[in-house]
């Protein structure tokens, strides 16, 4: 009867009791720590123990158990899931009942029977493990519900460029290889990630998406690796991170190119060790995830400039899938528009509408800087604004600079200068409305805010 993963803390002011407990328990559990000073209890509990054996009386001659109840309350404040077994030489049934009602798991009398104490502690370790599993499952269920509420979307397009994408998805999906998806904003990187997951052996498990561009540096470890109660000011409860919540399934890390260099090492370590250490804990938690990453940034160039770790790039791109921009597969525009017309006819309870040849030609020759995402928004707006059974050219709104590089006069052709001018122009067009500007640019609000800060806008 052993549990080599169990961590046990014994608190008693009698050195003989501490020695006897350690000699008995260390043969059965991974860690057995003893402490004679109860004032150390809060810090020790924060370090993470599965079971605490706590003496009920520390003051000389005391037999009321009052101190034991006081420290029991303190421990449960620090870690509500900790399993506490109280010990006393003056035990009786009323005291035991009071201890259980106060939050203790069990109660033992001194001197103990070794088999009885060992069985009680073993049951406590199993209870602690069960509580941790329940907490992880609750968090995971919340993530499953959130992920499921977004629903599944269909990959539309049979152009030669998209047929290559379909083939890569078909080959990569059944394996457990990490996948890196490259492409401009709006090309459907998350859609491809979901397709890989849905065709994999993990399809019945959770698919979790994390936009790394929207996760602040200060919350990165908490968001991905989790935290224990008290790890920082607002950590009021234990929380499983995204790696734990996605264990058994697929974790999709979008905008991985925006991850700062000093955080890339933390991600790499988690991937190499297949475990995460929650903030406020010293003990790694094993995780089993299939990783899919995406970015619109040139990671190979960033590696050469020292902006992205080469060893992390090798780790995440076992299979690389590059998505074509919409302007590179204009032959898919017709089927995409038909698909979106069906979606919004159902969503807004509208009758079926037909695209005129003139409108189709205009859509096929448009540059679509926002790619499929921009086309989808254009079709949605046209469906709402059009009164008749057809969608013609005048029913679509085309931004004045989209697809026409000459319309935007550039004073400097350096990439940063171009980006600065484009962002400034789009913000001005939408009167400073960041949500609308981000939508037209095909990026998230968080990404736009970072760029605005970069350029002092």
At 320, the pLDDT band (50, 70, 90 cuts) reads very high
What would the pLDDT profile of 142-181 be if each residue is shown by its tens digit?
A: 565 555 545 446 789 999 999 999 999 999 999 999 999 9
Instruction: For residues 295 and 180, give the distance between their C-alpha atoms in angstroms, rounded to a whole number.
Output: 8
**Token duo for residue 405:** 């590089």
Q: Which domain holds residue 41?
A: 3-130
Q: Are strands 290-295 and 250-254 parallel, antiparallel or unpaired?
A: parallel
Is 279 contained in some domain? yes
Same domain? For 303 and 175 the reply is yes
Q: Return the sign of the alpha-carbon dihedral for residues 186, 192, 198, 201.
A: negative
Pick the most confident of 71-80, 313-322, 349-358, 392-401.
313-322
At 403, the pLDDT band (50, 70, 90 cuts) reads very low
Average confidence (pLDDT) over 369-375: 92
Instruction: For residues 440 and 380, give the distance between their C-alpha atoms in angstroms, rounded to a whole number.
Output: 14
Last residue in a domain, options 276, 295, 322: 322
Count of domains in the chain? 4
Is 19 contained in some domain? yes
Concatenated DSSP letters for 406-440?
GGS--S--SHHHHHHHHHHHHHHHTTT-HHHHHHH
Find the angle CA(94)-CA(96)-CA(100) to the nearest 5 degrees. Answer: 115
Same domain? For 158 and 281 the reply is yes
Q: Are 313 and 259 in contact (CB under 8 A)?
A: no
Rg over alpha carbons for the chain, rounded to the nearest Å, is 29
Same domain? For 50 and 190 the reply is no
Note the pLDDT of residue 141: 61
User: What percent of the chain clears pLDDT 70, i.e. is strictly above it?
Assistant: 89
Same domain? For 304 and 158 the reply is yes
Note the pLDDT of residue 90: 63
Instruction: For residues 398 and 400, give the distance between their C-alpha atoms in angstroms, rounded to a whole number.
Output: 6
pTM exceeding the 0.85 threshold for the entire prediction:
no
Q: What CATH number is associated with residue 430? A: 1.10.10.60
Same domain? For 92 and 195 the reply is no
Greater pLDDT, 383 or 67:
383
Please provide residue 293's backbone torsions phi and psi, each rounded to the nearest 5 degrees. Answer: -120, 160
Same domain? For 249 and 178 the reply is yes
The mean pLDDT of the chain is 85
What would the pLDDT profile of 97-124 be if each residue is shown by its tens digit?
A: 787 888 888 888 888 889 999 999 999 9
Instruction: For residues 295 and 299, give the distance between their C-alpha atoms in angstroms, rounded to a whole number.
Output: 8
């Amino acid at each position: 009867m052993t549990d080599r993963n169990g961590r046990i803390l014994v608190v008693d002011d009698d050195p003989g009791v501490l020695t006897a407990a350690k000699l008995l328990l260390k043969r059965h559990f991974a860690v057995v720590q003893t402490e004679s000073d109860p004032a150390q209890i809060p810090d020790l509990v924060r370090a993470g123990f599965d079971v605490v054996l706590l003496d009920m009386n520390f003051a000389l001659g005391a037999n009321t158990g009052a101190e034991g109840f006081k420290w029991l309350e303190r421990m449960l404040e620090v870690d509500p899931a900790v399993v506490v077994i109280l010990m006393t030489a003056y035990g009786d049934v009323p005291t035991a009942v009071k201890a259980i009602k106060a939050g203790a798991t069990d109660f033992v009398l001194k001197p103990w029977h070794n088999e009885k104490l060992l069985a009680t502690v073993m049951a406590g370790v199993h209870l602690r493990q069960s509580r941790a599993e329940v907490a992880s499952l609750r968090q995971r269920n919340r993530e499953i519900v959130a992920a499921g509420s977004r629903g599944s979307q269909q990959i539309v397009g049979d152009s030669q460029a998209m047929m290559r994408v379909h083939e890569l998805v078909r080959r990569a999906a059944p394996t457990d290889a990490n996948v890196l998806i490259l492409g401009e904003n709006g090309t459907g990187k998350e859609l491809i990630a979901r397709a890989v997951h849905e065709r994999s052996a993990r399809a019945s498990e959770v698919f979790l998406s994390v936009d790394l561009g929207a996760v602040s540096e200060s919350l990165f470890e908490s968001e991905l690796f989790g935290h224990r109660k008290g790890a920082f000011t607002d950590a009021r409860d234990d929380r499983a991170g995204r790696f734990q919540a996605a264990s058994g399934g697929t974790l999709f890390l979008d905008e991985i190119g925006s991850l700062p260099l000093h955080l890339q090492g933390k991600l790499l370590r988690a991937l190499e060790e297949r475990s995460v250490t929650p903030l406020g804990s010293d003990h790694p938690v094993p995780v089993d995830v299939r990783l899919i990453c995406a970015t619109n940034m040139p990671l190979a160039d960033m590696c050469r400039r020292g902006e992205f770790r080469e060893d992390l790039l090798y780790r995440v791109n076992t299979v690389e899938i590059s998505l074509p921009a919409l302007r590179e597969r204009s032959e898919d525009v017709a089927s995409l528009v038909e698909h979106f017309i069906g979606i919004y006819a159902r969503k807004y309870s509208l009758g079926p509408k037909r695209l005129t040849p003139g409108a189709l030609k205009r859509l096929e020759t448009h540059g679509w800087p926002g790619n499929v995402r921009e086309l989808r928004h254009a079709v949605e707006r046209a469906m709402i604004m059009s009164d008749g059974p057809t969608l013609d050219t005048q029913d679509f709104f085309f931004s004045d600079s989209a697809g026409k590089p000459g319309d935007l006069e550039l004073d400097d052709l350096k990439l940063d200068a171009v980006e600065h001018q484009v962002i400034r122009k789009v913000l001005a067009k939408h009167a400073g409305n960041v949500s609308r500007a981000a939508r037209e640019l095909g990026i998230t609000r968080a990404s736009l805010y970072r760029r605005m800060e970069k350029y002092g806008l």
